Amino acid sequence: MFKLNLPGKYFMGATAAWVLHKGSKLQIRPEDIPAIANALKKSRRFNEELSKPGATAESVMNKLGLLTARGKEFERITGVPWPL
């Protein structure tokens, strides 16, 4: 897990709200920040793996599995599914 400073937490929260098309209507509690940050991080890693020239089906499926797990955590906390 990586550590975020306060501006980083606000940025991650705003990014998640933008991704969800909820704008300021999404109520993000401080305890929700790690789930949002994890989902964003796994999305980035999944997309990076997809764009790798030497990516294998196994490596992509591994990243997809991690993204799915973090997406489910995000949905459990926020009630909104995480988009791929």
Report the range of poorest mean pLDDT among 10-14, 43-47, 50-54, 68-72. Answer: 10-14
What tens digit of pLDDT does each residue of 32-58 get? 888 888 888 888 888 888 888 988 999
Percent of the chain with pLDDT over 90: 2
Q: What is the DSSP letter of 79?
A: S
What pLDDT is stored for residue 32 in this prediction? Answer: 80
Q: Which residues contact 39 (CB under 8 A, 6 or more apart)?
A: 16, 67, 70, 71, 73, 74, 82
Q: Is the pLDDT of residue 24 over 70?
A: no
Q: How far apart are CA 2 and CA 83, in angstroms?
A: 22
pLDDT of residue 58: 92
